[in-house]
Amino acid sequence: MLRAGNFILASLVILLALFRGIIKPKIDEIGLFRKAINLNNKRCYRVEALEACEDLFVDRDSGLAYLACSNRLHRAYWTPALTLLRRDKLPFPSQDYIAVLNLNTLKHHKLDLVNLPPHLIKNGLHTHGIDLYVHPSDGFEDDHGQIRLSGDSSDGSGSVRKATIYAINHNPPDDLNTTSSVGAQSVIEVFDTLLGDTQATHRRTIESGFILTPNNIVGMSESSFYVSNDHKKKVHWLPRATDNIHLTPSGAIITANIPAIAKFIGMVKKYPTDKELSSPVEVWRVSNSSFGKEFVGGKVQVEKIFADDSREVSGTTGVAVWRSNLIMTDRQITNEVDRSLERCKVYEDRIKQLKDSLDSNSLSIRTGQSHLTYLNHQSEQVLRSIESESKRLIDQISASSKVYSRKPNKNYEQSFNSSRKGPPNSEFDEELDKEDVSLIDKNHQNIGRAFKNESINGRDDEDNDSLNKFQQSYIDSNHQLNRARLKVN
């Protein structure tokens, strides 16, 4: 009996180790029991009629977005990344297309692809990842020195920019009966265009043994790019929960995450019979947490900036940042119409949340350095988060004073001098509109009240005077923001 008991115990230990080391991580990756907690999903604007867009590129200067689109039925039968390989169920040529969306007006059109090679004429384009390399803004002239374009490709300054489009094409094999075993014959299609134009001219098709199952692509110049493979081989299960990523000018990485991959696969695969299925969404930001110092490695800040339980946004695979907006692909049904793009304002009002986790007498602030000093050092991570958020809001306030041409007073300029030396610290504060000013004003007042009520035990008169000047600067800039808000009304 004793030996039997020891054997059972040893078996349980082995099974537990296998569960924790192998099975549980797989369950976590699949997201079997994971639920998305809604975050920043209350200010989303839907763009209709763009369907099943997998990936997108956004030009920050012009506000033009390029999207790799299809239709839900096509994705259900032909998505090689999910081993959905029933191309024989669909007509030829493919109806996939590249859409151009003006984020300023929300108007969009299909890009007219010309000079196509035989395989694109026969099969059409089977879209997935897309990226643009936008050439330097020197203008593009014809042989007579005149700017020529068939659409609006100006960035607002009057210059016309040339762009190279890199598009992944999951071309089906010639023998459709072999798709389940050989997969797609994926290639990279290269097009030349003018930014915002209605046409793109095919330049070349790139096929390589290194391009097996391409998913994402990054253009580096008009003749070079990086491409990622999502499988080790052409037909393989994909256990990943992160899809496309977006790199911001500040160096942060924005990732489109799929919290429940099983629901996502079911939503795509079962669309022909159940159009109401949905999949939750999360968007995460990975950024350097060294506050301006050179990144050495390991010092990163990971934070969730958007989440939806799939009632508003569903099945996001691509994300980009433009001004204060997250631009996300979407797979959701509204009034029996597929919609595939969401534009969501993102403002993380985290100062108060982080502040509540500190002791009431643990913070002091020094004027002229734009940083906080945490006295008891109980939570360096919380301090860093507050410092980062404070810097972000200071940059927003500084940006608003420039947008509305309101000259700050002496105390304001002295207090925030260090924040004016460079561009804004956050990718979400490039431009401010009426709602933005109102939100910054509200956040600003909350922070001012929190700092004003802080105790400064053990500080001398000079530090007290500095704190008072800082508070006065907040009050003055608050009036400034109010005037700016009135100006845009």
DSSP calls for 408-460: --HHHHHHTGGGGSSS-SSTT-S---HHHHHHHHHHHHHHHHHHHT---TT--
HSE toward the beta carbon, residue 163, CA cutoff 13 A: 30
Domain over 43-345 is classified CATH 3.40.50.450: no
| Residues 220, 466: Cα–Cα separation, whole Å | 48
Report the length, in residues, of the chain.
489
Predicted confidence at residue 136, as pLDDT, reads: 86
C-alpha torsion 318→323→324→325, nearest 10: -30
| Residues 375, 389: Cα–Cα separation, whole Å | 19
Q: Which amino acid is at 365?
A: I
Per-residue pLDDT tens digits for 215-233: 999 999 999 999 998 877 6
| Residues 481, 355: Cα–Cα separation, whole Å | 23
| Residues 340, 317: Cα–Cα separation, whole Å | 10
**Of 9, 192, 167, which is closest to residue 94 (Cα–Cα)?**
167
Six token digits for residue 430: 């490039």
The 3 state secondary structure assigned to 312-340 is CCCCCCCEEEECCEEEEEEEEEECCEEEE
Q: What is the pLDDT along the chain (489 residues), one digit of tens a residue?
A: 556 656 666 667 667 666 566 665 666 665 666 778 898 888 888 888 888 899 999 999 999 999 999 999 999 999 998 889 999 999 999 999 999 999 999 899 999 999 999 999 999 999 999 999 999 875 444 433 333 333 444 544 556 899 999 999 999 998 998 888 888 999 999 999 999 999 999 999 999 999 999 999 999 999 999 999 887 766 655 444 667 888 888 788 899 888 888 888 889 999 999 988 999 999 988 887 654 445 455 577 888 889 999 888 888 889 998 887 889 988 654 434 455 677 787 744 443 343 443 333 333 333 222 223 323 333 344 445 545 555 555 555 455 444 333 333 333 333 333 333 333 345 554 445 666 666 666 666 655 555 555 434 334 444 455 455 555 555 655 665 665 555 555
CA dihedral for 151, 156, 160, 162, sign (positive or negative): negative
| Residues 243, 216: Cα–Cα separation, whole Å | 9
CB-count burial class (<10 Å; 0-12, 13-18, 19+) for 413 = middle
For CATH 2.120.10.30, the residue range(s) in the chain are 43-345
